[in-house]
A and B are shown apart, each in its own frame.
Chain A
Amino acid sequence: MSSLPIGTKRNSCLVRGCAFSVLVVLLFGSASAQTPKTNPLAPKSEIRTQTASPGPEQKGKLAHDLTPSDLEAFLDGMVPLQIAREDIAGAVITVVKDGKPFFAKGYGYSNVEKRIPVSPDKTLFRPGSISKLFNWTGIMQQVELGKLDLDRDVNDYLDFKIPATFSKPITLRDIMTHTPGFEETVQELFVPAAANLTPLDQYVKAHLPVRIYPPFTTPAYSNYATTVAGYILQRVSGEPFDSYIEHHIFQPLEMSHSTTRQPLPEALQPLMSNGYDVASEPAKSFEFVEAVPAGSSSVTGADMQHFMIAHLQDGHYGGTQILRPETTQMMHTRQFSNLPGMNGMCLGFYEETRNGHRIIGHAGDTDYFHSDLHLILDAGIGFFISYNSAGKGETRARETVWHAFLDRYFPYDPPPMAVQPTAAADARLVSGRYLISRRAETTILKVSNVLGETKVSSDSDGRITVDSIKDPSGQPKKLEEIAPLMFRAVHEQDRVGFKRDRTGELVLVTDFPVFVFQRSPWSQDSAWNVPLILCVMGVLLLTLLLWPVGALIRRHYGKTLNLTPQQRRLRLIVRLACLFDLLFLCGLAVFFSMAEKNIGVLNPRFNPLLRIIQLVGWLGVLGTLAAVYNAFLSWREQGHWFSSKPGDSLIALACVAFVWFVYTWNMLHWSLRY
């Protein structure tokens, strides 16, 4: 469960997760299987949770003085063991305080084989979606210049048109709060090589997703929309995106080891940390992010200190001002929230208030680099961490370190709250399955939702668990109702709230504001969809296995099937249909598992392969007619009820269920934009 829910390239994570789980489910039938490194849905649906130590240490509430030596000893206790335990190669942590760099340290290796240690000021990391903050800062600079209006239809700034699916147009404010309402798109988010990179305008024009929510209603984190914003920045400033960020952010902030360019400028190449899936396996190659403004940058931990200082000081860094104070403050102010009292979205930053302090920040994930940036505005503290490996993915490494940091220097006891008298009834009310708002709805990727659903369960004491909210050991946390439809983890501060949308359906809101979770419609409830497809696969598989076995047994006893040529043909067609159905499911699973290993597979170059898989699926769907007809015939026939009637009917049912499943989850969708 690698968790970064956020992310960035969440897509990448999304895809990896989905793909793998689909594969697992399809092939092995284990709905609960998880990859060691990524919870299938994790990237989408996991909710960040707190690590508050159970210990009396926190209870003591004795804040330790934040000194460099205390912090260093503390992190030295934590990080080396953590990276060893999680099979992570290296990490960098930098902290700023009161407008100055405060702490910077590298742990582990940037290159395991050559044993090159991580250096905080000489090793480049990929902060993934944290790159978006450069983009957003650039947008705000243009707003200051009057070249952009946060509330104007973005079509006014574009040379292509976002359709008017809803009456309200999409604005930059919507995009910066992740509420433009786009569905998820992952194709070509990453590309396999520098040669596959295309100019920004091609990407945004080729991958325009369907709008599935009216603007400013439903947050659904969008890399695509962020890229559109970057494209707008490039258009109104008249500078290519990479140069703009260089000239207006990196240079004024003296971030001399930072770039959004890919491949890296030659001078920086030797400084780049390897990326690893796990440290015990060979290094992976440099990741190319097509959606540049959403996550292509490479930075050192020390450079990120400059950026954090500028934001903590109202845009001021050294002798320069990258944003005016009022602009900076506006950027840090809440713009959108899902539920009053819970974290909301600022302009680009999201709130991560905790331990009684208002905190804003952003996380970032590429396939291999996993990073987080936090600004404790009222304490003048900024914290950046980046790992260069995905690791085993059993726990949320970043979150563990960050929460431990907060609990040590800003200890906090959640105020006692009486449990609501309606707890038991409310817990039952909210139990069920939920779909994340950030999802594919109309594309073939929709099938990934079947395993991505978040499950809310209740116990007899009126406490609920949300399957993605776990403590660091992987145990789901218990939450109790402390206000109407507001639940809080027992003895802790994580919260989950519920509200109703305009149609009256329940919406699950977490303290992670970039998406919400919507009650699954009955037809998409994985509680029965998953068992259904498993049963279907079981029936299909048995049919195919018993085909030759039956033939051998008949031969052994010297019997033959007494069938007319027509019946014989029909029988063959039905079995072929079963074969096609299975091949289709497996083919798609294999495709997604390839994507899981290499996100570059999500590329139009592989569309022909997808087409072939879909063709097999269509043949299977057609074969369903034969299966149903066959069952019909066998019921008309005289003979013992048990001869062939149950078998043929079961096969027909399985084929029909297959068609239903494939239809529900868009698996044969004609469009290969996803």
Chain B
Amino acid sequence: MMTITAMCSRCFSAIFCLLALACLSAWPQVPKPKPTTGTSNPSAHSAQSTTPEITTSDVEAFLDGLVPMQLQRDDIAGAVIVVVKDGKVLVSKGYGYADVKKRTPVAPDATLFRPGSISKTFTWTAVMRLQEQGKLDFDRDINDYLDFQVPHTFGRPVTLRNLMTHTAGFEEVIKDLAVDRADDLPSLQAFIKTHEPKQIYAPGTIPAYSNYGADLAGYIVQRVSGLPFEQYVQQNIFGPLEMTRATFVQPLPDPLKPMMSNGYSVASEDAKPFELVPPEPAPDGSLSVTGENMARFMIAHLQNGRYGDTRILRQQTAEMMHARQFGMDPAINGMAFGFYEESRNGLRIIGHGGDLNYFHSDMHLVLDKGLGFFVSYNSTGKGELDPRTALWQEFLNRYFPVSPPAEVAEKQPIGSVAGKYLSSRRAQTTIMKSLWLVLAEPSVSQAADGTIQVDTMKDFAGQPKHWRPIGGMKFREVGGQELLVFKPDASGRMQMFSEDPIEIFQRVSWNENKTVWSIALGFVTVVFALTLVLWPVAALLRRHYKHPLTLNRLQRMLRLLVKLACAVDLVALVTFAAILIYGFSNLSLFSERLDPWLRCLQVLFLIGLVGSVAMVYACFRLWQSSSRGIWMTIYSASLVLASFLNIWIVLSSRIVQTSLQY
């Protein structure tokens, strides 16, 4: 299922992480609570009971203990970490290799990493800059800035405020998330106009992280400023911050090429090629940058726009950008402009993560401590836990320890929250819908001791965390600090909010329930496959026992029809599954080139649909005309049921539709 995590293109905890969650690979957020230390040895060195100070030497020793162990344990080639404090670089350090084969070490100032979605914070910063110049208005219909129209699907315009808080309501799309060849990179303008997703929520209501939304914002920057996007960022952000080793351009300009770190799935396998993120440039994720250059960007934000003698944003603009702008519940993290809140250990923290297939990065700004932290790994690693989350939380626990709040015994009926939930960030109307239903449904269950568990939310050991009700439909991680909040929406559908504000989870009814879907799919597959497998077996047995079938011509045809329909249905399902499985480890598969094949597949599904209908009829006729033995009845009934289920699956998964935007 690495395949699916691999799909994390440019979206931090976004959908694909969700998928990843759903499939196995845990993206635990929090370690099991642990005391920071035990007690000291009287005769020996006395372990500090006080919190260690953030000094260069302490942080370095701490990271030297933690990071190399992570790299080795998780089969990761290399990482860069920079920590800034009070306007200066406190630690900048490379670990492991930028190129394993050549044993090129990672250098914080001379090795380029791909921060993925962290690129978006540059785009958002550009938007803020244009806003403070009066060229953009957060609350104006973005159509005013565009040369095409984003429909008012919900009777409401989409605004920049919506885009920056990921509440434009766009559904998730995965087509053209990656390409193999630079020639295949579409321009920003062409991409924006051809890849617009449907809006599935009214703007400003439900957060659903959207790469497209960020690209759209980048396109607006380009149109309003009159400069190509990459040039605008160069002149207004990279330039003033002296970020000479940063670019949105793909493939990399020649001078930067030799500095680029390889990307790896795991360090023990061969390096992967440079990842091309459509479009070119991609405001949502095409940045390449050194750790040391990221330090400058963090310092500028921590100083509310000031860097040295220059400013990239005015003080009040920066403050507005960092302030909370949207949240589902006051008790949990919300969205700032582009940054999201990740408050923890009693500190208000904003940040952004970023994932390409191979690079996995995180940026955290502890605003009131003047502390910034950037980490990027150049490999996915074994994927059993999220190394950057572990790193960051251990860091916070060392320098800003908190004791978990006292456990409040709160008896609250919690049956009302159990069930399966779907992320708001999902494909709802596209041919990929079934993927979310089958793979990406967190399941909330109630433990015997009154706590709940969400199967996708695990600790660092891979064990599901326990959450105890603390009143008001809120649950706190046992021994930890994270909250889950439940709240029904206007229509009464239960929603779950986590500390990750870029998406929410909505409870599904039976017809979107993962278990129902899995059983239905399993049943259909088994019945159809057995029908086909037992066909020749039964023929051989009949021959052996000299017991030929006594069927008339019509019966024979009906029988053949049943087998053929089974075959077509099965081939269509298996092919679709194969495309998905292959596609998620090779994202560039999902491009226009696949469209003709998808059309063929749709035709197959259509034939299968007709076949299924015919099969119901045929089964009935055959059953009528046969001896009606118990086995025949069971078999016929199974086939009929499987046919109906197949029809239901195909229709409600929306595989057969005219649009190949997905």
Binding site for B on A (CB under 8 A): 51, 53-57, 59, 64, 68-87, 92, 94, 100-109, 115, 117-123, 278-280, 301-302, 305, 392, 395, 400, 404, 408, 471-475, 491, 553-554, 557, 559
| A302 near B43: Cβ-Cβ < 8 Å | yes
| A77 near B64: Cβ-Cβ < 8 Å | yes
B391, chain A: closest CB distance, angstroms = 8
Residues of chain B lying within 8 A (CB to CB) of residue A122: 39
Residues of chain B lying within 8 A (CB to CB) of residue A280: 32, 459, 461, 463
Q: Which of B33-84 contact A (CB under 8 A)?
A: 34-45, 47-48, 52, 57-59, 61-75, 77-78
Most buried by A among B31, B35, B44, B64: B44
Interface residues on B, range: 35 or more
What is the 8 Å Cβ interface bit string for chain B, positions 82-105, against chain A (1 contact, 0 not)?
000000000000111100100101
| A106 near B32: Cβ-Cβ < 8 Å | no
| B463 near A102: Cβ-Cβ < 8 Å | no
Partner of B64 from A57, A279, A472, A554 at Cβ < 8 Å:
A57
Q: Which 5 A-B pairs have the closest CB atoms?
A: A106-B38, A77-B65, A56-B105, A104-B41, A101-B44
Q: Bound complex: CA of A302 vs CA of B62, how far in Å?
A: 23
Partner of B62 from A56, A74, A279, A554 at Cβ < 8 Å:
A74
| B47 near A73: Cβ-Cβ < 8 Å | no
Q: Bound complex: CA of A305 vs CA of B47, how far in Å?
A: 16
Residues of chain B lying within 8 A (CB to CB) of residue A100: 43-44
| B39 near A404: Cβ-Cβ < 8 Å | no
Residue B398 lies at the interface, judged by CB distance under 8 Å to chain A: yes
Q: Which residue of B lies closest to A92 (CB)?
A: B38
B389, chain A: closest CB distance, angstroms = 11
Most buried by A among B35, B57, B97, B381: B35
| B65 near A85: Cβ-Cβ < 8 Å | no
Residues of chain A lying within 8 A (CB to CB) of residue B73: 85, 395, 400, 472-473
Residue B545 lies at the interface, judged by CB distance under 8 Å to chain A: yes
Given A54-B100, A72-B48, A553-B541, A78 and B69 touching (CB < 8 A)? yes
| B41 near A64: Cβ-Cβ < 8 Å | no
Residue B179 lies at the interface, judged by CB distance under 8 Å to chain A: no
Most buried by B among A54, A392, A408: A54
Q: Which residue of A lies closest to B266 (CB)?
A: A473
Question: In the complex, given contacts A81-B66, A81-B390, what are 17 additional A-B residue pairs having Cβ atoms less than 8 angstroms apart?
Answer: A55-B96, A55-B106, A56-B97, A56-B105, A72-B47, A73-B58, A75-B65, A76-B65, A83-B34, A84-B34, A87-B461, A107-B34, A108-B35, A122-B39, A280-B459, A404-B65, A473-B382
Most buried by A among B41, B58, B72, B463: B41
Q: Which residue of A lies closest to B269 (CB)?
A: A475
Given A73-B62, A74-B64, A557-B547, A107 and B38 touching (CB < 8 A)? yes
Partner of A392 from B44, B58, B106, B461 at Cβ < 8 Å:
B461
Q: Which of B345-387 contact A (CB under 8 A)?
A: 381-382, 385
| A85 near B34: Cβ-Cβ < 8 Å | no
| A81 near B31: Cβ-Cβ < 8 Å | yes
What is the 8 Å Cβ interface bit string for chain B, positions 23-37, against chain A (1 contact, 0 not)?
000000001101111
| B38 near A123: Cβ-Cβ < 8 Å | yes
Q: Bound complex: CA of A103 vs CA of B178, how far in Å?
A: 51
Residue B267 lies at the interface, judged by CB distance under 8 Å to chain A: yes
| B44 near A73: Cβ-Cβ < 8 Å | no
Q: Bound complex: CA of A605 vs CA of B276, how far in Å?
A: 66
Residue B397 lies at the interface, judged by CB distance under 8 Å to chain A: yes
Q: Which residue of A lies closest to B631 (CB)?
A: A556
Q: Bound complex: CA of A118 vs CA of B38, how far in Å?
A: 5
Residue B575 lies at the interface, judged by CB distance under 8 Å to chain A: no
Q: Bound complex: CA of A474 vs CA of B266, how far in Å?
A: 12
Q: Bound complex: CA of A342 vs CA of B463, how far in Å?
A: 42
**11 CB < 8 A contacts A-B:** A53-B68, A56-B97, A59-B103, A76-B52, A80-B397, A102-B45, A105-B47, A120-B41, A280-B463, A404-B68, A474-B75
| A109 near B65: Cβ-Cβ < 8 Å | no
Q: Bound complex: CA of A76 vs CA of B394, how far in Å?
A: 9
Residues of chain B lying within 8 A (CB to CB) of residue A51: 72
Q: Bound complex: CA of A59 vs CA of B38, how far in Å?
A: 33
| A279 near B461: Cβ-Cβ < 8 Å | yes
B370, chain A: closest CB distance, angstroms = 21
| B41 near A54: Cβ-Cβ < 8 Å | no
B383, chain A: closest CB distance, angstroms = 11
Residues of chain B lying within 8 A (CB to CB) of residue A118: 38
Q: Bound complex: CA of A658 vs CA of B394, how far in Å?
A: 54
| B72 near A54: Cβ-Cβ < 8 Å | yes
Partner of A84 from B36, B42, B461 at Cβ < 8 Å:
B461
Q: Bound complex: CA of A650 vs CA of B661, how far in Å?
A: 56
B102, chain A: closest CB distance, angstroms = 12
B72, chain A: closest CB distance, angstroms = 4
| B61 near A103: Cβ-Cβ < 8 Å | no
A296, chain B: closest CB distance, angstroms = 24
Q: Which residue of B lies closest to A86 (CB)?
A: B461
Residue B412 lies at the interface, judged by CB distance under 8 Å to chain A: no
Most buried by A among B36, B70, B73, B397: B73
Residue B657 lies at the interface, judged by CB distance under 8 Å to chain A: no
Residues of chain A lying within 8 A (CB to CB) of residue B72: 51, 53-54, 400, 471-473
| A120 near B38: Cβ-Cβ < 8 Å | yes
Residues of chain B lying within 8 A (CB to CB) of residue A105: 37-38, 40-41, 47
Residues of chain B lying within 8 A (CB to CB) of residue A108: 34-35
Q: Bound complex: CA of A64 vs CA of B547, how far in Å?
A: 85
Given A53-B68, A55-B71, A109-B35, A77 and B44 touching (CB < 8 A)? no
A114, chain B: closest CB distance, angstroms = 12
| B398 near A76: Cβ-Cβ < 8 Å | yes
Q: Which residue of A lies closest to B64 (CB)?
A: A74
| B52 near A73: Cβ-Cβ < 8 Å | yes
Residues of chain A lying within 8 A (CB to CB) of residue B40: 104-105, 120
Residues of chain A lying within 8 A (CB to CB) of residue B66: 77-78, 81
| B96 near A53: Cβ-Cβ < 8 Å | yes
Q: Which residue of A lies closest to B68 (CB)?
A: A53
Given A55-B96, A122-B39, A395-B73, A77 and B61 touching (CB < 8 A)? yes
Residue B187 lies at the interface, judged by CB distance under 8 Å to chain A: no
Partner of B35 from A103, A115, A557 at Cβ < 8 Å:
A115
Q: Bound complex: CA of A253 vs CA of B309, how far in Å?
A: 64
A58, chain B: closest CB distance, angstroms = 8
Q: Bound complex: CA of A69 vs CA of B55, how far in Å?
A: 12
Q: Bound complex: CA of A303 vs CA of B208, how far in Å?
A: 57
B214, chain A: closest CB distance, angstroms = 32
Partner of B459 from A76, A84, A107 at Cβ < 8 Å:
A84
A310, chain B: closest CB distance, angstroms = 15
Residue B509 lies at the interface, judged by CB distance under 8 Å to chain A: no
Residues of chain B lying within 8 A (CB to CB) of residue A56: 94-97, 105-106
Residues of chain A lying within 8 A (CB to CB) of residue B105: 55-56, 59
Partner of A103 from B34, B44, B62 at Cβ < 8 Å:
B44
Residues of chain B lying within 8 A (CB to CB) of residue A78: 65-66, 69
Residues of chain A lying within 8 A (CB to CB) of residue B381: 473
A552, chain B: closest CB distance, angstroms = 10
Q: Bound complex: CA of A109 vs CA of B37, how far in Å?
A: 9
Residues of chain B lying within 8 A (CB to CB) of residue A71: 61
| B45 near A68: Cβ-Cβ < 8 Å | yes
A554, chain B: closest CB distance, angstroms = 8
Residue B153 lies at the interface, judged by CB distance under 8 Å to chain A: no
Residues of chain A lying within 8 A (CB to CB) of residue B390: 81, 84-85
| B36 near A80: Cβ-Cβ < 8 Å | yes
| A117 near B460: Cβ-Cβ < 8 Å | no
B63, chain A: closest CB distance, angstroms = 6
| B461 near A57: Cβ-Cβ < 8 Å | no
| B74 near A473: Cβ-Cβ < 8 Å | yes
Q: Bound complex: CA of A673 vs CA of B390, how far in Å?
A: 48
Residues of chain B lying within 8 A (CB to CB) of residue A474: 75, 382
Given A80-B394, A120-B39, A392-B461, A54 and B69 touching (CB < 8 A)? no
Q: Which residue of A lies closest to B60 (CB)?
A: A73
Residues of chain B lying within 8 A (CB to CB) of residue A87: 461-463
Residues of chain A lying within 8 A (CB to CB) of residue B64: 57, 64, 74, 77, 408
